[in-house]
Amino acid sequence: MTQPLHTWKLTPTSTPSALWHLSTLRSPIHVRAAGPLEARELAAQRFCQWTRTPSGKDRAGSPWLDPDLVYCTEDQDERLAALGEPCIVPD
């Protein structure tokens, strides 16, 4: 059974972190997802920059997954309710 989608607003905090070097975006976004964790994961995937560790293995890091670095609140914007698939909402 598919869960209903909600609109989530992800807003970066002013807390400094080196993790922001691993993201291609650092501005508020809207995401259509079933829950806040899915919204964070979609943002992390979309704006991820891959890094190579000293051992040569690829790893990903993302500030979008950290609640100290990004607030995630439900947004009641009905205009976005028509979007039926999980996605990052274009501006």
Q: How far apart are CA 36 and CA 10, in angstroms?
A: 9
pLDDT at position 49 is: 82
Q: Look at residue 56 and give its three-state secondary structure.
A: coil
pLDDT tens by residue, 51-78 = 655 655 545 579 999 999 999 999 998 8
Dist CA 5 CA 25 (whole Å): 23
Domain boundaries, the chain: 6-83
pTM for the predicted model, two decimal places: 0.86
Number of Cβ atoms within 10 Å of the Cβ of 13: 13
| pLDDT per residue as tens digits for the range 22-43 | 999 999 999 999 999 999 999 9
pLDDT value at position 1?
53
Question: Percentage helix, strand, coil, to 5, in the chain?
Answer: 25, 30, 45
pLDDT of res. 3: 86
